[in-house]
Structure 1
Amino acid sequence: MDYFQFYNISESFLLDEKVLKNTYYKLSREYHPDFHANEPEEKQQEILQLSTQNTNAYRTLSDADLRMQYILKQHGLLEEGGKNELPGDFLMEMMEINEELMELEFDFDADKFHEISEKTIGLTAQLDNDILPVLQRYPELHGITKEEALAEVKTYYLKKKYLLRIQETLSKFATRS
């Protein structure tokens, strides 16, 4: 059973955190192994599995990035070694940033570092801003299909992962600036 079904909530990229947490605590009490210690071994194993599923579901659904990754995987859009292509213009822009980062590696320049940092922050903010309407309306979409929305979210997710790797590289330079 998928995590959304397990929690009896609709699949969504944006969840009500309070509802999610309350459901987690309710199921934690219901499936706590100590409350089923006198049950037959088979029932105890079932409760243990449900308790584990509750913990895994909460960990995944309470983290926006993990939730997005989970939804995309549930729809078969993020397979390991699968088609995770990014638009060419985005890749060209990232290649330019990576080249600038390599230059910083050999010849650090604090002003250039700050310029790249600001550019990366701006790109991330624009990316978040552009996808927000799709995330807010999902799965009740108007004007685009669920598949088109999921494709947009997948592209967003992959771009964001790429930008996070650049930000990690930038953080290594932070001590120099």
Structure 2
Amino acid sequence: MNYFELYNLPESFVLDEKALKNTYYKLSREYHPDFYANEPQEKQQEILQLSTLNTNAYRTLSDQDLRMQYILKEHGLLEEGGKNELPGEFLMEMMEINEELMELEFDFDAAKFHQISEQTIGLVAQLDNDILPVLQRYPELHGITKDEALDEVKTYYLKKKYLLRIQETLSKFATRS
């Protein structure tokens, strides 16, 4: 079952957190296995599956990145292997940053480290700022189709994931600065 359907919420990148939490607690009470201890084994198993589904749905929908990943996967846009390609201009920019990271590995320079850190923080902030209008209006879009919006979100998601890997690499250098 689709997590949005389970929670009776419209598919959206921006959710009403209070409504999400209220539904989670309501379903947690409804599907609590202790209330079904005297039921047949099949019913107990069904409730356990519903309880697990509720927990997984809440974990996914309450986390912005997991929710985004979930929506993209539901639409078949995030696949293992191919189709997860990033724009060439972004990859060129990342190649430069990766080369600078390799240089830091061999010859650490605190000033260069801070410059790269600030650059990646700025890139993430710019990405977040650029995609926010699409996330806020989805799925009620004007001027672009739902598929175009999902493609924009996919590109954003993949870029941000790439930048987060760079930030993880930078955090390994943090102890040297």
Structure-to-structure mapping, 1:80-91, within 5 angstroms: 80-91=80-91
Which residue identity lines up with residue 14 of structure 1 in the other structure? V
* Residue ranges of structure 2 left out of the alignment (5+ in a row): none
How far did 1:21 drift? 0.8
Q: Distance between the aligned counterparts of 1:83 and 1:146, measured in 2?
A: 18
Partner of 2:53: 53
Which residue identity lines up with residue 17 of structure 2 in the other structure? E
Q: Distance between the aligned counterparts of 2:153 and 2:142, measured in 1?
A: 16
SS of the residue corresponding to residue 174 of structure 1 reads: helix
Which residue identity lines up with residue 167 of structure 2 in the other structure? Q
Superposed CA deviations along residues 59-97 of structure 1, whole A, max 9, x for unmatched, are 111111000000000000001113111000000000000
Q: Distance between the aligned counterparts of 1:121 and 1:10, measured in 2?
A: 32
Residue correspondences, number: 177
Question: In terms of mean alpha carbon deviation, does 35-44 or 49-58 score higher?
Answer: 35-44
Partner of 1:122: 122
Superposed CA deviations along residues 132-161 of structure 1, whole A, max 9, x for unmatched, are 000000001011000000000000000000
Task: Note the aligned Cα RMSD (angstroms).
Answer: 0.6
Question: In terms of mean alpha carbon deviation, does 76-85 or 152-161 score higher?
Answer: 76-85
How far did 1:42 drift? 1.5
Which residue identity lines up with residue 158 of structure 2 in the other structure? L
Q: Distance between the aligned counterparts of 2:5 and 2:117, measured in 1?
A: 41
Superposed CA deviations along residues 103-145 of structure 1, whole A, max 9, x for unmatched, are 0011111100010000000000000000000000000101100
Q: Distance between the aligned counterparts of 2:39 and 2:11, measured in 1?
A: 33
Partner of 2:151: 151
* Residue ranges of structure 1 left out of the alignment (5+ in a row): none
Which ranges of 4 or more aligned residues in structure 1 deviate by more than 6 Å? none
Partner of 1:19: 19
SS of the residue corresponding to residue 82 of structure 2 reads: coil
Q: Distance between the aligned counterparts of 1:138 and 1:62, measured in 2?
A: 17
Which residue identity lines up with residue 159 of structure 2 in the other structure? K
Partner of 2:64: 64
Superposed CA deviations along residues 3-32 of structure 1, whole A, max 9, x for unmatched, are 000011000001111111111010000000
